[in-house]
Amino acid sequence: MKLPAAFRTSKGLIGTGLVIAILLVAVLAPMLIPADWATKMDMRARLSPPTLAHPLGTDQLGRDLLYRVLLGTQTSIFIAGAAVLMSIVIGLPLGLISGYAGGTTDNVLMRLVDTLLSFPALLLALTISAVLGPNLHNTVIAIGIAFTPFLARIIRGEALRVAQMPYVEAARTAGNSDSRLILRHILPNIMPAIIVQSTISLAFAILAEAGLSFLGLGTQPPDASWGLMIQASRDYLDRAPWTALVPGAAVALTVLGLNMFGDALRDALDPRSKGAS
Amino acid sequence: MSYILNRILSMLLTLFLISAITFAVTNILPGDVAMMIMGTQSNPEALAGLRETLGLNDPLLAQYGRWIGGMLTGDWGTSLVFKEPIAPLLIQKMTASGLIVLLSMTIALVCAVPLGVWAAVHPNRWQDTASSSAALLGVSLPDFFWGIMLILLFARALHWLPSSGFVDPREDLLLALRHALLPALALGLGLMAHLTRMTRATMTGILNQEFIRVARAKGLGEGTVVWRYGLANAVGPVMTVAGLQVGYLFGSIIVIESLFNYTGMGWLTYQGLLNRDIPLIQASVFVIAAVVMLANLLVDILYVLVDPRIRLS
């Protein structure tokens, strides 16, 4: 099988490679690396620069940054993935019904969605997390809810576009029920848009998790996430800038990979947007 | 005119919905304001008394009515952390945030538009690759990470700019700008990257259209074709995206102002969130959402004024 052209560009290849590599780390790291390697404190080597013993240096408690960043991958990816999944589970029916039904239903639902879009996503996520009490699961809920209006809006737009296509009209005339029209004829045709949007949302969710944790309103210790590592580095920037650079690079590589992969995916699935970015 | 009137009416409805959502989100809490004031170990009877005084035993709808009535008449309640009336506090902090938001928006637009056009004019050449790669990297890093890098470079290594604090522009404009520059840059870099990508995409689409070919065939200079014909048509879409990013900026100021200890609205909101200062959270979340909505309305109206095609249709 040949790769679609969009993935044979250097951007597509790098993006796909990065995404696969990061997913592998997220799945394999916790199986291969004993959990206590990331929490073992080496008091004689606190804030140590990269050495043979600690290839990426250590943090303020002498914990190895390489192991911490590798084991943190799963937390960050899990939170982002679960949050995006949650926003799809809520946003998909909302968007589908709104776009398909049109009229008053559409007006009411989209007015609500537009209002929610007035709240900056990060502010909404921070508020929900602060209100529920910050921990790993509430971080997922906070980001998931904050991202829902975006997905609902995009899915509604796509559903509206597809619902007006002649073949949907034909299927309706043939006597298909509303639910059958939505599930069999509309949903499969807006899947590409949903997949592309999810990839991009995943990148944003990684950034949001990092932001929440950085402010202390996301993942809490002892869970290790990238945002939490950057937060911990704040007081030691002068002496040990690598404590910020290592988790920062992990975030950057992941989001970069997801963005490049998302761009290639969009070019492959939606030829109209060819070369749009 | 009727379009603008329509928009303002629908804005009032949205404002009402914003207030309802803000109130609902902050009321799903397990604890309440009385508990926050007196602490979890307090005497149950005193707690019940305070709840009665604060009206926390009233139905939610009545509480909402009281809150929104206060918001509309300028009584925004008292902050539990700062022990001060919220309205003057918030308005004072809003000007501080306004400074860095405007500064970052200006920096982003001034850099992003030429960069995006430059990339679009040279598709798939090194100019495009360089500008697009930089933009991609820009959108891929959290803005607080840019903030940390800026502090390390400009404050710690070069000692050019202060790394934290806020100075009132009315006291010392130059010093105020020096304090605002790094937070504004940290906010603006991600935005700039995003707008560069948008400008490039929009311009690429426009430069491939017939009327551009016609303009070239007429023998117009490349500068006129790109800037006069091309960019004039890209202004609207780029402006819309920039307007939508105001929301993103008002989310980011929470992180950036906390990082730079810049005591604006984001910093204030963060103090509220950290200390579960419900009256402060309610007021600032409502105000931020209202500001974002107003900014978007303004962009919509500007768009109509700038683009005659919409005005006529």
What number of CA atoms fall less than 13 Å from residue A66's CA on the CB side? 12
Q: Assess contact for A209 and A218: CB atoms under 8 A.
A: yes
Contacts of B273 in chain A (CB under 8 A): 126-127, 130, 215, 217
Is A141's Cβ below 8 Å from some Cβ in B? no
Which pLDDT band, with edges at 50, 70 and 90, does A236 fall under?
confident
| Cα A188 from Cα B208, distance rounded (Å) | 32
Residue B185 has pLDDT above 80, yes or no: yes
Residue B17 has pLDDT above 50, yes or no: yes
Q: Does A256 sit within 8 Å of B136, measured CB to CB?
A: yes
Q: Assess contact for B36 and B80: CB atoms under 8 A.
A: yes
Q: Assess contact for A247 and B142: CB atoms under 8 A.
A: no
Residue scoring higher pLDDT (A1 or B78): B78
CA distance B187 to chain A (A): 13
What number of CA atoms fall less than 13 Å from residue A201's CA on the CB side? 29
| Minimum CA–CA partner of A132 in chain B | B29
The token pair at A131 is 């209100």
Residue ranges in chain A assigned as alpha helix (H): 10-32, 65-101, 103-117, 121-132, 136-163, 166-173, 178-180, 187-214, 226-233, 242-269
Average pLDDT value for residue range B145-161: 86
| Cα A255 from Cα A203, distance rounded (Å) | 5
**Percent of chain A residues topping a pLDDT of 70:** 95
Average pLDDT value for residue range A95-114: 89
Specify the pLDDT at position B142. Answer: 84
Which pLDDT band, with edges at 50, 70 and 90, does B50 fall under?
confident
**B219 conformational bin, left if phi > 0, alpha if psi -120 to 50, beta if neither:** left
The structure tokens 């925004």 sit at B76
Lowest average pLDDT, out of B25-29, B119-123, B185-189, B253-257, goes to B25-29
CA distances to A55, A97, A160, A165, A182 from A174, rounded to whole Å, are 66, 21, 20, 15, 14
What number of CA atoms fall less than 13 Å from residue B181's CA on the CB side? 14
> Which of B142, B247, B293 is opposite residue A211, by nearest beta carbon?
B142
Average pLDDT value for residue range A245-271: 86
Contacts of B144 in chain A (CB under 8 A): 210-211, 214, 230
Is A131's Cβ below 8 Å from some Cβ in B? yes
Is B282's Cβ below 8 Å from some Cβ in A? no
Within-domain flag for A111: yes
Average pLDDT, chain B: 84
Structural domains present in chain B: 2-73 (no CATH), 86-306 (1.10.3720.10)
Within-domain flag for A52: no
Average pLDDT value for residue range B138-155: 86
Specify the pLDDT at position B40. Answer: 64
Which pLDDT band, with edges at 50, 70 and 90, does A53 fall under?
confident
Contacts of A234 in chain B (CB under 8 A): 148, 259
Domain extent, residue A216, equals 11-25+64-273
Specify the pLDDT at position B216. Answer: 83
> Which of B14, B140, B144 is opposite residue A114, by nearest beta carbon?
B14
The token pair at B13 is 């409805």
Contacts of B281 in chain A (CB under 8 A): 127, 130
Average pLDDT, chain A: 85
Residue A272 has pLDDT above 80, yes or no: no
CA distance A65 to chain B (A): 17
**A175 conformational bin, left if phi > 0, alpha if psi -120 to 50, beta if neither:** left
Residue A91 has pLDDT above 90, yes or no: yes
Specify the pLDDT at position A140. Answer: 94
C-beta atoms surrounding A176 within 10 Å: 15
* Number of domains, chain A: 1
Within-domain flag for A235: yes
Within-domain flag for A49: no
Average pLDDT value for residue range A145-171: 89
Within-domain flag for A115: yes
Within-domain flag for A130: yes
Q: Assess contact for A41 and A68: CB atoms under 8 A.
A: no
Average pLDDT value for residue range A111-132: 89
Residue scoring higher pLDDT (A53 or A91): A91
Which pLDDT band, with edges at 50, 70 and 90, does B183 fall under?
very high
Q: Does B251 sit within 8 Å of A122, measured CB to CB?
A: yes
Within-domain flag for A269: yes
Contacts of A244 in chain B (CB under 8 A): 145, 148
Most confident of the following: A116-120, B4-8, B47-51: A116-120
Specify the pLDDT at position B6. Answer: 81
Within-domain flag for A251: yes
CATH code of the domain containing A187: 1.10.3720.10
Specify the pLDDT at position B149. Answer: 87
Residue scoring higher pLDDT (A38 or A225): A225
Which pLDDT band, with edges at 50, 70 and 90, does A276 fall under?
very low
> Which of B247, B273, B292 is opposite residue A127, by nearest beta carbon?
B273
Average pLDDT value for residue range B62-90: 85
The token pair at B309 is 């095609």
Contacts of A216 in chain B (CB under 8 A): 274
Contacts of B237 in chain A (CB under 8 A): none
| Cα B284 from Cα B89, distance rounded (Å) | 10
Which pLDDT band, with edges at 50, 70 and 90, does B268 fall under?
very high
Q: Assign B85 to helix, strand or coil.
A: strand
Average pLDDT value for residue range B81-109: 90
